[in-house]
Structure 1
Amino acid sequence: MWFTKSIDETLKELSVGPATGLSSEEAASRKSKYGPNRLEAKKKKSVFQIFISQLNDWLIYVLFAAVIITFFMGEYIDSVIIILVILINAGIGVFQEVKAGKAIEALMQMSSPRALVRRDSHTAEIDSAELVPGDIVILDAGRVVPADLRLIESANLQTEESALTGESVPGSKEAADIYDDPNTPIGDRDNQAFMSSIVTYGRGVGVVVETGMRTEVGKIAHLIDNEELTKTPLEKKLSELGKMLGKMAVGICAFIFVLSWFQGRDLGEMFLTSVSLAVASIPEGLAAIVAVVLSVGVTAMSKNNAIIRQLPAVETLGSVNVICSDKTGTLTMNKMSVTQVYTTQGLLDLDEHVPNDIPNAAKFAAKAMILCSDATLHNDDATGDPTEIALLALGDTLRLDRKNLENDTNRINEKSFDSDRKMMSVLVKEEDGDYKVFTKGALASLKKVSTRIFDNGEVREITEADLKNFSHAARQMSDHALRTLAVAYKPAARDTHPDEMEQDLVLLGLVGMIDPARDEVKPSIKLAKDAGIKTIMITGDHKNTAFAIAKDLHIADHVDQVITGPEMDSFSEDELKQKVNSYRVYARVSPEHKVKIVRALKANGNIVSMTGDGVNDAPSLNAADIGVAMGITGTDVAKGAADMILTDDDFSTIVKAIEQGRNIYNNIKKSVIFLLTCNLGEVVVMFLALLVGWQSPLIATQLLWINLLTDSLPAIALGMDNGDPDVMKEKPRSINENFFSHGAGIQAVVGGIFIGLITMLAYWYGYYELGYSPADGNIPEEVVKNARTLAFMVLVCSQLFFSLGLRNRKKPLYKIGIFGNRYLVGAIVLGILMQILVLFVPVLREAFKLHMLDQKGWMMAVVLGLLPLTALEIYKIVFANRKQHSTAKI
């Protein structure tokens, strides 16, 4: 009952000091005792359960029925082969599901909440799973509470606890409260913050009292299932495609069976053949292959600093044509540094040199900035907002003793920053016992609430001339791409209410700080432009500052492409929709403006990516097609609302993610087209041969073997291709585009028919070279075996070789290289070796009813097997030359 104990009692019982926190050794000891701070996940399916689920398919049931039928027909070898094919297929399915599951688990762990913790007298951010009872946790707006805490400090702290209480309105928290009633409801325990609740306002410090399953949310964890993985829209579309193709294949197979019945064929054999053809022609592994390609792809993206939280984002990335990016930290280094300080004593330029005799007004302004900050800076170890870290560094530059300043002052109360006021205020008790309010924020906001000014050590009434001088200094700083921040103070009383803090202030000074652009941003913006993607910069900076940076980054060419939030407010919704495409920079914007920008852009048919880091950015991240949260500076709320998290807060990572997203989609498309082409080829050869009255070109076990070889490893290998380095020279893909757009569907159909026809040719040649025709009667069994062996070899070789040509739909193979995808080359080599093994091992040759080929047969298998690939490459060369010729004319 931690809520019934005082702060001192709680700290004593947990053996921790609030200023130092636990030692690393003690934290490790407690973790071994209490375990990781995480909720127990639902029990995962075992490998055996996954294996059984792979067999839970109606086609597999039919195959099992075929096993029984062949067994009673005395075809024991066929029965064994069918069972082995079923088991191997199921094994491949297990491998795919386990691999995809592990990749998704790794991503979930990477995007798990972080906690700001005080240990060994230092504040650092750690994974929330590492928390133990006794840890001192710092809370600020936007963070998810990482464990059950007994608050020891609170300043206007509010949390939203709807997950526990059902009450969506945030509740205020008071660390000093103590409750005598042990039955006090959770929603009334204002001296506690609970795991999974969200800090919506203010600041606080708490000591961890319960972790993991011992937390309040842990007690109801059986009602929570955070790991339920739903299919992406892409997987659903492919599943529907598979069902449609399955129905068509079953219809064709049923037609073949009925036709065979009318032709007087052996019904038992034809039933087995028809079922095997159905299994071979239905791309049942399509969804599993897509899941593997997606999971492997997004895992690779995470290694490049882009964590995909929602798999559908991968599909959408390829269609993005507008990137709305924050300036600070994303386009810039996120390493603010104060270069100028302006007070009534003039401008102090720190870029040039730091004078020995620093003006008192500048020191006072720096002191005020330090006290009105939530950041920490110890040597190179810093936490908090980069702007506030820069202000702490300013104190060091001006030779202020921050350690003594921290020890000699005590923050009593505060009024947190919000985007409407654009200010933050704190009430501080100083060493001499006096109380002062310190306020920092936008100069325009402070000018409205400042009635006096600090001048030469004295406080006097502020004049219009003073305001003009400060405005002129701010404008000069902005013109040099400096971000400005003003500071003020006033004497106050101990019981000053937060609503009274920002009244009748004394203006102290103004600082200008710069956050230089990242070196890699300019090339990334150009790359995005070449890919048909427009970059829009969104910032809270002044118009002049924003334009100076945007011009340097080649985002905007002239100031007419810049608009401010207040100017936007004068537009109606329709006016903004009409004008939004003409702007490249949005300055002085609030989070509400971001939502308006996204909606206006989307209304014009754009697919929009939007970055954000704050609590109030969640609506715009949700509104965008791709919400991108900052991994370093972003709040937990922003990360929770985003589709993608940047672990380096870098704009170029967004562009790289779009490039990878395009390649992942293209890789999935390659796998789909390959599977459909192969399956169509099998259906064509069987359908045509039986239609003209020939014997079945392939028997059931051969069809199942072909399905095993081509529908697994080559398809997965295509999905793991390195991708096209020129993919960013293409325009964004239409959101409504399907896999069969731009001639891909025609390619699959033509390729499938061509493979089917050359297999028919090989089958015919198998008769011809031994002096027979497929239409003859009383054909010796060895002749039929020879023809089927040729068809069997040609069909496998043509499918395996054809996969090489599908690596790139436009570029010929000699340009991208045969060995560019080692997985695919390995799959092809393995497939051919397995074919040779089946043919050369007598037991297997007899089991599959094959005939050893002669020299002509081998030449025929290789030559015909290479024909589909050769035809595809010739088409690409002609197409490429034609395109170059038409481009040259233009």
Structure 2
Amino acid sequence: MKDIHAQNSKENYATEPIEQLLDHLKTTTAGLSQTEATKRQAQYGPNMIHHSKQKSQIKAFLKNFISLMAILLWVSGLIAIFTGSVELGIAIWLVNIINGIFSFWQEHKAAKATDSLMAMLPTYTQVFRDGEEQKLNATDLVPGDVFNLQAGNSVPADARLLEATSIQIDQSALTGETVPESKNVKFLPGEGKFSESNLVYAGTTVGAGTAKAVAITTGMQTEFGKIASLTQKQNKETSPLQLELNRLTKQISLIAMGIGVAFFVAAILVVHHPIAQSFIFALGMIVAFIPEGLLPTVTLSLAQGVQRMAKKHALVKDLNSVETLGETTVICSDKTGTLTQNQMTVNNIWLASGVYTISGQGYVNNGTIQRKQQKVDYQTDPDLKQLLTIAAFNNDTTVEYAKDTKKPKILGTPTEAALVILTQKAGFKTSEYLKDNPRLKELPFDSDRKRMTTIHQQGKQLLVAVKGSLSDLLKQCSTIQDHGNIRPITSADQTAINQANRAYATKGLRSLAFAYQTIPYSGKDQLDSLTIDSVEKNLTFVGLTVMADPPRPEIYDAVKKCHNAKIKIIMVTGDSEITAKSIAVKIGITSDKARVVTGSELDQMSTDELKQALKGEIIFARVAPEQKYKIVSTLQTMGQIVASTGDGVNDAPALKKANIGVAMGVTGTDVAKDAADMILTDDNFASIVAAIEEGRTVYSNIQKFLLYIFNSNVPEAIPSVLFLLSRGLIPLPLTVLQILVVDLGTDMLPALGLGAEQPEPGIMNQAPRSRNSHLLDKHLILTAFAWYGAFASLVSTLAYFFVNFENGWPAQHLLSSGIGYNRATTMTLAAIIFCQIAAALNCRSKYTSVLKLGLFSNHRIWAGIVFEVLLLAILVYTPGIQEVFNTAPLQVRDWIFLFIVPIPIFLIEELRKLIVRYRHPQTA
């Protein structure tokens, strides 16, 4: 079958005569036959959005076992087996296996929690088949099908309108524009993408009115589908943490191999060991410098971050995204529904008699109307009562308040919903008034005259209630209501009205004008003669309602925190320039000096011009999906770590391209959620700030872990250095098995406790870390090796020689075997472990006093400390295990010495932190 789309473009669909379009689509206004529809279903497939091919579960599982750090663990296990420690070699491999399974399970759970199929297309559509209207599943829709639309329906396909009555379409999922688009059969190009007056698009929603339309494209051929396809083509870049861990693994591998080679050569040349024995000795040193606990600790730190973020309404789909959040330097944020509530609210009323303010924002009716800070009773204010009457009567929207939901259900348009809420705040009894003043006729809104009129019976006369845009309505008015009196409208009145309207517009507020007239009523036969031309003239102007989509209440504090954290926020919206800048300035994203760049201007900008513009304060308005993608891409080429927020289909490509895509969980489309790395379950921008704080904390905690495990490498290596320097006269104070006891046994739980450490004070007052900074930096190496490591080495070496001194050294040679030697190595091992107890507490903060954090506030660290002491006791006193690990029972005075060791180490470090805080107050 020939593709009926081949000869048409989107422009042709909108502009060609309807008869010609129907001919191209090979259909009629009565729809397709079932036979023809079946053929087209075979050709075009189901009307649904196809998801990108999911990754193989087997590959997803195996990737957890072939990362660089995982390979290093496999190798370290193999080395342990080569050194004769088969049990510990197997233990290392088991750690790798358990960690891999855990990582896979965490990511699998996160994916399950966010795995939702497309729900934006309606389940059923009223379609004409074989000349009869039928209720069909929307997935069965094909090009050429004719279907009906009414308020509350989702549009099932891109379509051309055949008939329309007061139809308004909420296109915010595609455009980001808050105000619904009025549509009609006549073609008008409109402003911006998706604004053709006679075309409706899949995934949008009917806010008001009814229509009949013919489907022109379905499934992946719709604009909705094209954006989804663009999103699926984007490959997710490797996260900064993954890159950093890969780099760290290479560094550790080179260090461990370098030390191993050096010790291998030294063992041969200095101690004159045989090659085989020297090789095993060198392998032991490599094992000592491989942080076997790094991968599980990093994974668990990330997993704990995911769990904490979930409690703060941020659902992370990929573990590595947690840390990437902490590096974020720029947030590209949509406006509607993200920074604002997506709830139009009337906040001012302008009447000839005065200006009124309305309290309470959003779709909440617990507010008041005030004038000069005094509550107003509409019953005593004729001008206000007349405006409220028109707002209530000339309205097709209802607001339903469900007990189990915080947000009321709107059946209609946001603009009319704002008017409904306004009348409710005033206490206006709409239903009672309508009983006495029934609607007899409606002259629907259309985009040509931009007005809507309803006609109501008021006894022996008719009330003609009109609302619309000021520019179109004011010229139809000859009089004005002022303090209850009707007088001719003057040029001074018109100037005052227009000046007020312009003042509101510059603040990003939208106005709606109201007017009316009364005419004698002679009976229902009169209604046919009441046309637009006859009743929408010589009207009495009443006033303006001024409305806006209010910012979220918590957004102000969230924006302030971002600025303190040196994170730039760039608004990228489909809304108008004035509205975008007004909101951005109001909530503090930018100053009034910010440059506003529209989508059309962005198209004309070169990459260099865009980069230059992005360096300053900037707002993007009236942008299309591919333009959001361009902005994010350009920021990334400038070295920025970009988080892009959004909820609409139009946001999906940018969400996928960004380092962190953040979708809204409540109002967000499933395409956006599918593309995002993180979903906000409360649609709260403030949750992003909390998530960024968690991300920074995770990175900080990983560095604390590295500091903790590397400081034990020095006392693990010093015994071998003593053995070499003495040319073998000093027997090894620590065996390879005992080294692995520290690395895989006693160090693990305190390290995991460091991964659960709470954010340090002031972490959100620092700039995001530089891309040139690394986990293993000079400060960490110096602190681990030259400070913590030096203390532990000194203490453990002294402990070794102290036991030997008790055994007769130096008068007698150092023992190389027997109970005395085993007790000496046990004391060395125990000294390292108790030094690590102090290190675990010291590593909890970089500059802040642990006493300020709360000495016992991190229960996991103390649980780890208790565990390592118990493990040491088991190794020391359990027969059978003593032989395997070359340990021997310690005496009471040994334990007294060991329990005293952590105290001076802890206090000395507290003194160092105090000196640093004194010299550098900004670190406090």
CA drift at 1:733: 2.4
Summarize the Cα distance change of 1:727–1:845 in structure 2 as closer, same or farther, 3 Å threshold. same
1:712–1:226 Cα change, 3 Å: farther
Relative distance call for 1:274 and 1:139 in structure 2 (3 A) is: farther
Alignment match of 1:816 (pick from 809, 830, 853) = 853
Return the match for 1:761 from 798, 809, 815: 798
Task: Establish whether residue 770 from structure 1 lines up as the match of residue 811 from structure 2.
Answer: no
2:129 pairs with 1:93: no
Within 1, Cα distance between the matches of 2:840 and 2:599?
Answer: 56
SS in 1 for 2:847: coil
Structure exhibiting the larger radius of gyration computed from Cα positions: 2
C-alpha distance in 2 between matches for 1:880 and 1:430: 75
> Residues 121 and 138 of structure 2 are in contact (CA less than 8 Å); yes or no, is this contact kept in structure 1?
no
Q: TM-score, normalised by structure 1?
A: 0.67
Report the equivalent of 1:105: 111
In the alignment, what sits opposite 2:130? none
Q: Are the aligned partners of 2:660 and 2:677 in contact in 1 as well (CA < 8 Å)?
A: yes
1:831 aligned partner: 868
1:552-591 paired onto structure 2 within 5 Å: 560-561=592-593, 583=617, 589-591=621-623
Q: Deviations over 1:579-612 (max 9, x none)?
A: 87775x85x9323697898799889887665544
- 1:484 equivalent in structure 2: 510
| 2:418 corresponds to which of 376, 390, 396 | 390
| Deviation by residue 1:497-544 (Cα, 9 ceiling, x = unmatched) | xxxxxxx9x999743125555554444444444444466778857869
1:355 maps to 378
Q: Which residue matches 2:253?
A: 246
Change (3 A) 1:689 1:817: farther
1:391-430 correspondence runs (5 A): 391-394=419-422, 400=430
- Deviation track 1:614-666 (CA, whole Å, cap 9, x = no partner) reads 44455766786655444444444554555544333334323322222221221
Question: How far is the alpha carbon of 1:197 from its aligned partner?
Answer: 7.3
Q: In structure 2, how many angstroms separate the alpha carbons of the residues matched to 1:409 and 1:635?
A: 38
Q: State the SS of the aligned residue for 2:731.
A: coil
Distance 1:779 1:427 in 2: 100
Q: 2:287 aligns with which of 279, 284, 289?
A: 279
For residue 484 of structure 1, what is the amino acid of its counterpart?
Answer: R
1:809-864 deviation digits (Å, cap 9, x = unpaired): 11122222222221122122111211111111122112211121223433443444
Aligned twin of 1:749: 785
User: Which position in structure 2 is the counterpart of 1:512?
Assistant: 546
Cα distance in 2, alignment partners of residues 847 and 820 from structure 1: 37
2:691 maps to 657
CA distance in 2, matches of 1:424, 1:868: 82
The residue type equivalent to 1:278 in the other structure is I
Contact 1:113–1:144 (8 Å) recurs in 2? no
Q: Structure 2 unaligned runs (5+)?
A: 1-25, 35-49, 125-136, 142-146, 158-162, 175-192, 203-213, 358-368, 458-464, 482-488, 516-536
Q: Which residue of 1 aligns with 2:299?
A: 291
Q: 2:243 matched to which residue of 1?
A: 236
- Separation in structure 2 between the aligned mates of residue 887 and residue 628 of structure 1, nearest angstrom: 31
The superposition leaves residues 532-565 of structure 1 with CA deviations (integer Å, 9 ceiling, x where unpaired) of 44667788578699669946x5667xx8535555
Q: Distance in 2 between matches of 1:425 and 1:637?
A: 33
2:767 to 731, 742, 746: 731
Aligned counterparts of 1:141 and 1:622: Cα–Cα separation in 2? 30
Q: 2-side partners of 1:140 and 1:769: how far apart?
A: 92
Q: Residue 883 of structure 2 aligns to which amino acid in structure 1? A: E
Higher mean displacement: 470-479 or 395-404: 395-404
Q: 1:640-789, aligned counterparts within 5 Å?
A: 642-693=676-727, 694-710=730-746, 712-741=748-777, 743-750=779-786, 751-773=788-810, 776=813, 779=816, 781-789=818-826
Q: Distance in 1 between matches of 2:713 and 2:655?
A: 42
- Contact persistence 1:306–1:646 (CA under 8 A): yes
CA distance in 2, matches of 1:688, 1:225: 59
How many angstroms does 1:808 deviate by? 0.5
**Whole-angstrom CA distance in 2 between matches of 1:334 and 1:173:** 21
Aligned pairs for 1:89-168 (under 5 A) are: 89-90=95-96, 92-94=98-100, 96-98=102-104, 100-102=106-108, 104-105=110-111, 108-109=114-115, 115=120
Aligned to 2:37: none
Which residue is 1:82 aligned to?
88
Q: Of 199, 202, 208, which residue of structure 1 is paired with 2:224?
A: 199
- Structure 2 residue corresponding to 1:301, chosen from 299, 306, 309: 309
Return the match for 1:260 from 258, 267, 272: 267
Distance of aligned partners of 1:609 and 1:798 in 2 relative to their CA distance in 1, 3 Å threshold = same
Which amino acid in the other structure matches residue 658 of structure 1?
Answer: I
CA–CA distance in 2 between the matches of 1:4 and 1:88? 66
State the Cα deviation string for residues 387-434 of structure 1 (Å, max 9, x = none).
56424535767655699999999999998xxxxxxx9989999999xx
Q: How much does 1:100 deviate?
A: 3.1
Which amino acid in the other structure matches residue 382 of structure 1? Answer: K
Q: Deviations over 1:83-112 (max 9, x none)?
A: 553465346425642553355335534x87
**1:145–1:198 contact (8 Å) kept in structure 2:** no
Residue 56 to residue 137, structure 1, CA distance change in 2 (3 Å): farther
Measured against aligned partners, the alpha-carbon deviations of 1:50-101 in whole angstroms (never above 9, x if no partner) come to 999899847646755864884xxxxxxx54x335534653464256425533
The residue number in structure 2 matching 1:75 is none
User: 1:745: how far off?
Assistant: 3.0
Unaligned runs of 5+ in 1: 11-36, 71-77, 120-130, 147-151, 161-168, 176-188, 203-216, 416-422, 433-437, 490-503
Residue 848 (1) aligns with residue 874 (2) = no
What does residue range 166-245 of structure 1 map to in structure 2 within 5 Å? 190=215, 193-194=218-219, 199=224, 232-245=239-252
Deviation at 1:717, TM superposition (A): 2.2
Structure 1 residues 301-310 or 660-669, which shifts more?
301-310
Q: Closer, same or farther in 2 for the Cα pair 1:545/1:623, shift >3 Å?
A: closer
In structure 2, the CA distance between the partners of 1:115 and 1:773, relative to structure 1 (3 Å rule), is farther
Give TM-score, length-normalised by structure 2.
Answer: 0.64
Matched-pair identity in %: 27
- Measure, in 1, the Cα distance between the counterparts of 2:58 and 2:897: 48
How far apart in 1 are the matches of 2:637 and 2:152?
A: 32
8 A contact 1:805–1:813 mirrored in 2: yes
Partner SS state of residue 662, structure 1 = helix
Q: Which secondary structure state, in structure 1, belongs to the residue aligned with residue 315 of structure 2? A: strand
Would the alpha carbon gap of residues 528 and 645 (structure 1) be closer, same or farther in structure 2, given more than 3 Å must change? same
CA-atom RMSD in angstroms? 6.3
